[in-house]
Amino acid sequence: MIVSSQILLKKAQEDHYAVGAFNTSDLEITKGIVAAAEEMNSPIILQTSEGEIKHAGMEIFFDSMKIFAEKSKAQINLNLDHGKSFEMCKWAVDNGYNSVMIDGSKMSLDENIELTKQVVDYAHERSVVVEGEIGLVPTPSKDENVRILKADPIECQKFIEKTGVDFLAVGIGNVHGENKGNPVLDFDRLKKIFQVVNIPLVLHGGSGISSEDIKKAISMGICKINVNTELRLAFAKALREILEDEDVIKPYDIMEPIDDVIKEVVRKKIEIFGSKNKI
Ligand code: G3H
Ligand code: ZN
């Protein structure tokens, strides 16, 4: 069933666990994520980035995700991840996502506030919740000059006050993608942010972070964790292995085993995030 992340994250914040936000761009990945949530009796956030939904087929793919979520016995929120413009967020709100992220983290603070506020005003009027970002969580494969810009607690406070955003993604040394090395999370900074911020906090770049660090981050206020790269790696590895056998040619013989591979990755994350049996 579809449940707003407003409800999912409030409960996670109160009970000290995190809801996993898993990216999808195709049917098998969606099936694997949803199956894991059902098996673990866990709430989840099913999300697409701009690039993913554009690849997957915009309305057509979103509608299929929505049907999966509606028919599932798990609690699922549908989120636009890393929306880069007002227009993209507006499209997502108009087409039925129940939360959107507007990522103005590469802008100046004032520009980020202005864009995020514009999205919040539009989304809130239509009962859709919004995630903003402070600090920069780089993607080494995309960003030429990789720089980590950590969130400043005072700026976080100002950003929330001026925009009315519902959730805040914070840069605390976390990094997106593969080959990220061993990101060192700045827990002192997270603690300071948590002391001044009273809305749910989000950790991006959730792949490859040790379970210990994940649990520590959750104990310090993180209640949504985004995971994408570990799903992509598992997908690509499984596909390569399956295609080694040249006799396997039926699309469903090639693709079906991937559901289970994705399900396993998501199950493990749910275990670490502590959201098992939280429905
Ligand atoms: O928004 C999506 C994520 O932050 C995922 O990060 O690809 O490092 O898991 P990741
Ligand atoms: Zn992200």
Domain presence at residue 56 = yes
pLDDT at 148 over 80: no
Counting from 1 in the atom list of ligand 1, the atom nearest the Cα of 139 is 8
pLDDT at 124: 98
Which of these, 265, 269, 131, 273, lies nearest to 200 by C-alpha position? 131
Counting from 1 in the atom list of ligand 1, the atom nearest the Cα of 230 is 9
Structural domain including 111 reads: 5-273
Going by alpha carbons, the residue nearest to atom 2 of ligand 1 is 226
Give me 227's structure tokens: 């995971």
Counting from 1 in the atom list of ligand 1, the atom nearest the Cα of 203 is 4
Decide: 123 and 110 in contact? Cβ < 8 Å. Answer: no
Cα→Cα distances 99→47, 48, 52, 82, 136, Å: 9, 11, 16, 11, 21
pLDDT at 54 over 90: yes
Q: 176 CB less than 6 Å from ligand 1?
A: yes
81 is catalytic: yes
Residue 168's φ and ψ, nearest 5 degrees, are -125, 120
Ligand found nearest the CA of 178: 1
Q: 163 CB less than 6 Å from ligand 1?
A: no
Q: Please state at what angle helix 229-243 crosses helix 27-40, rounded to 10 degrees.
A: 120
Task: Identify the residue whose tokens are 């506030």.
Answer: 113
Average the pLDDT over each of 54-68, 166-180, 260-274 and give the range with the smallest value: 166-180
Q: What is the DSSP letter of 74?
A: S
Q: 229 CB less than 6 Å from ligand 1?
A: yes
Give me 129's structure tokens: 């919740």
Percent with pLDDT over 70 in the chain:
98
Q: 274 CB less than 6 Å from ligand 1?
A: no
Q: How far does residue 23's CA lie from ligand 1's centre (Å)?
A: 8
Domain presence at residue 278 = no
Domain presence at residue 279 = no
Q: How far does residue 247's CA lie from ligand 1's centre (Å)?
A: 35
Is residue 254 packed enough to be buried (19+ CB in 10 Å), middle (13-18) or exposed (0-12)?
A: middle
pLDDT at 67: 98
Domain presence at residue 45 = yes
Confidence of residue 16 (pLDDT cuts 50, 70, 90): very high
Domain presence at residue 215 = yes
Name the active-site residue from 15, 26, 63, 81: 81
Domain presence at residue 196 = yes
Give me 276's structure tokens: 């098992």
Q: How far does residue 204's CA lie from ligand 2's centre (Å)?
A: 4
H runs (alpha helix) in 48-167? 50-56, 58-71, 86-94, 109-125, 153-163
Q: Please state at what angle helix 58-71 crosses helix 27-40, rounded to 10 degrees.
A: 20
Domain presence at residue 146 = yes
Going by alpha carbons, the residue nearest to atom 6 of ligand 1 is 205
| Number of structural domains the chain divides into | 1
Angle at 8 between CA 163 and CA 200, to 5 degrees: 40
Confidence of residue 236 (pLDDT cuts 50, 70, 90): very high
Q: 227 CB less than 6 Å from ligand 1?
A: yes
Counting from 1 in the atom list of ligand 1, the atom nearest the Cα of 204 is 4
Residue-wise DSSP of 244-268: TSTT---HHHHHHHHHHHHHHHHHH
Give me 2's structure tokens: 């579809």
Q: How far does residue 248's CA lie from ligand 1's centre (Å)?
A: 32
pLDDT at 42: 98
Backbone Cα Rg of the chain: 18
Q: What is the mean pLDDT of residues 245-269?
A: 97
Query: pLDDT: is 15 or 179 the higher one?
Result: 15
pLDDT at 147 over 80: no
pLDDT at 141: 76
Q: How far does residue 227's CA lie from ligand 1's centre (Å)?
A: 5
Residue 99's CATH number: 3.20.20.70
Domain presence at residue 36 = yes
pLDDT at 145 over 80: no
Q: 48 CB less than 6 Å from ligand 1?
A: no
pLDDT at 268: 98
Q: 205 CB less than 6 Å from ligand 1?
A: yes
**pLDDT averaged over every residue in the chain:** 96
Q: What is the mean pLDDT of residues 17-44?
A: 98
Q: pLDDT tens for residues 73-127? A: 999 999 999 999 999 999 999 999 999 999 999 999 999 999 999 999 999 999 9
Q: pLDDT tens for residues 160-174? A: 999 999 999 999 999
pLDDT at 146 over 80: no
